[in-house]
Amino acid sequence: MSLDGDAATMTATMPPSGKPGHARAQITAKTYRKDRWWVGPVLTTLGLAVFIVYATGRVFQQDHYFVEAHHYLTPFYSPCLALQCEPASAMFGTLPFEFPWFLPYALVSLPFLLLFRFTCYYYRKAYYRSIWQAPTACAVTEPHSSYTGESRWPMVLQNLHRYAFYIAVLISVVNTADAIIPLFHGTGGGFGIGVGNLVLIANVVLLWAYTASCHSCRHAFGGRLKSFGTKPVQYWMWTRISRLNTRHMQFAWITLASLMLTDLYVALVASGTITDLRIFN
């Protein structure tokens, strides 16, 4: 009880409180909720697990990441930095050595993309609830005996989410280039468009939607201001970002799926399992 005797003297905007003997209702049930409150956390865990398993497998596969004919590069390997990257896939050149099996080719982007999502305000909610179970669901007693949240090291580092966002913007620029360049590698050279192009473009548009709807982005582009009065441009941006921001959760899940699908498409074409359907050239 925090309401001890000393507190009693300090609480008079209330019925004289902290009376000795006041205690919470002694209710032992973990919750009286009758709905299926556990479904959400279970689905979240499954969703995240599917992505992690798939992504891990693909990142360490070190194969089927590039379609030479149309320069399709999967986002999981962009930018490709290992010496063994196919030359045309390495937009920024490569490092002077071959990567061992445990180093992802996209060494500089993947950790930050992971960090961006790990520190994302939405994903935090998702894994705190489903994996960490703090709380598993609202008004359901959590299993932990103590809790300090993000107030201490190392969780306090979550406050640096904005840096992950800044880097994510740079990576999104690279992804955008990855989506545009293949447009100029049609079957006969020059401009061309196929299903692969559409997949890459759709994916990068969604990635931008996820990145731009980030809470840190909303803060940086206007939310931090005390008054919008003299800053119409920032106000305009803030309102637009705010609107996107209400769908941040949806974008978070959609982009997990679109990343996997995009990668899968590139992998299937690169491995020759399917052929890219060309719409024009």
Partner 1 sequence: MSEIQRHSYDVVVIGAGGAGLRAAIEARQQGKKTAIISKSLFGKAHTVMAEGGAAAAMGNVNAKDNWQVHFRDTIRGGKFLNNPRMAELHAKESPDRIWELELWGALFDRTKDGTISQRNFGGHEYPRLAHVGDRTGLELIRTLQQRVVQLQQADAAELGDPEAMLKVYAETTITELVKDGGAEGRIAGAFGYVRETGDLVLFETPAVVLATGGIGKSFTVTSNSWEYTGDGHALALRAGAGLVNMEFIQFHPTGMVWPPSVKGILVTESVRGDGGVLRNSDGKRFMFDYVPDVFRTQYAETEEEADGWYEDPANNRRPPELLPRDEVARAINSEVKEGRGSPHGGVFLDIASRMPAVEIMRRLPSMHHQFKELADVDITAEPMEVGPTCHYVMGGVEVDADTGASLVPGLFAAGEVSGGMHGSNRLGGNSLSDLLVFGRRCGLGAAAYIDGLGDDRPVPDADVVARAAEESVAPLERTDGESPYAVHQALQTMMNELVGIIRRGPEVAQAIEDLDKLRPRVERVRATGGRAYNPGWHLAVDLRNMLVVSEAIARCALEREESRGGHTREDFPGMDPEWRKTNLITRLVDGGVALKRQPLDSLRPDLLALFERTELAKYLTEDELPAEDGADAQEDTA
Partner 2 sequence: MSETRTFKVWRGDNGDGELVDYKVEVNEGEVVLDILHRLQATEAPDMAVRWNCKAGKCGSCSVEINGQPKLACMCRMSTFEDGEEITVTPLRTFPVIRDLVCDVSYNYEKARQIPSFTPDPDLEPGEMRMQQADVERPQEFRKCIECFLCNNVCHVIRDHEENKEHFSGPRFLMRATELEMHPEDTADRRMIAQDEFGLGYCNITKCCTEVCPENIKITDNALIPLKERVADRRYDPLVWLGSKIGLRKEGADTPIVPNTKPGPANG
Nearer residue to partner 2 within complex by CB, 133 or 281 = 133
Kindly write out the interface string for residues 53-72 of this chain, putting x where it contacts partner 2 by CB under 8 A and - elsewhere: --------------------
How far apart (Å, rounded) are the C-alpha atoms in residues 182 and 197? 7
**Amino acid sitting at position 84:** Q
What is the 8-class DSSP label of residue 156? G
Residue in 33, 84, 170, 274 binding partner 2, rule: CB under 8 A: 33
Q: Is 188 in the site for partner 1 (CB under 8 A)?
A: no
Q: Indicate the helix (H) or strand (E) that contains 274.
A: none
Strand partners, 280: 193
3-state secondary structure of 38: coil
Q: Is 271 in the site for partner 2 (CB under 8 A)?
A: no
How far apart (Å, rounded) are the C-alpha atoms in residues 137 and 48? 17
Q: Is 190 in the site for partner 2 (CB under 8 A)?
A: no
3-state secondary structure of 66: strand
Handedness of CA 260, 264, 270, 271 (dihedral sign): positive
Q: Is 167 in the site for partner 2 (CB under 8 A)?
A: no
Q: Indicate the helix (H) or strand (E) that contains 246.
A: none
Residue 278 binding: pick among partner 1, partner 2, none (C-beta 5-8 Å cut-off by kind): none
How far apart (Å, rounded) are the C-alpha atoms in residues 256 and 110? 14
Residue 148 binding: pick among partner 2, partner 1, none (C-beta 5-8 Å cut-off by kind): partner 2
For residues 117 and 108, is the Cβ–Cβ distance under 8 A?
Answer: no
Nearer residue to partner 2 within complex by CB, 83 or 125 = 125
Instruction: Enumerate residues 221-260 that contact partner 2 by CB under 8 A.
Output: 223-224, 226-229, 235, 245-246
Kindly write out the interface string for residues 199-238 of this chain, putting x where it contacts partner 1 by CB under 8 A and - elsewhere: ------------------------------x---------
3-state secondary structure of 136: coil
Could you tell me how many residues of this chain bind partner 2 (CB under 8 A)? 64
What minimum distance in Å lies between the beta carbon of 269 and partner 2? 39
Helices (H), 105-160: 110-118, 121-130
Q: Indicate the helix (H) or strand (E) that contains 278.
A: strand 278-280
Report the interface residues with partner 2, using CB under 8 A: 1-4, 6-7, 9-11, 13-15, 17-19, 21-27, 31-34, 121, 124-125, 128-129, 134-135, 138-142, 144, 146-152, 156, 159-162, 215-216, 218-219, 223-224, 226-229, 235, 245-246
Report the interface residues with partner 1, using CB under 8 A: 9-10, 12-16, 19, 229
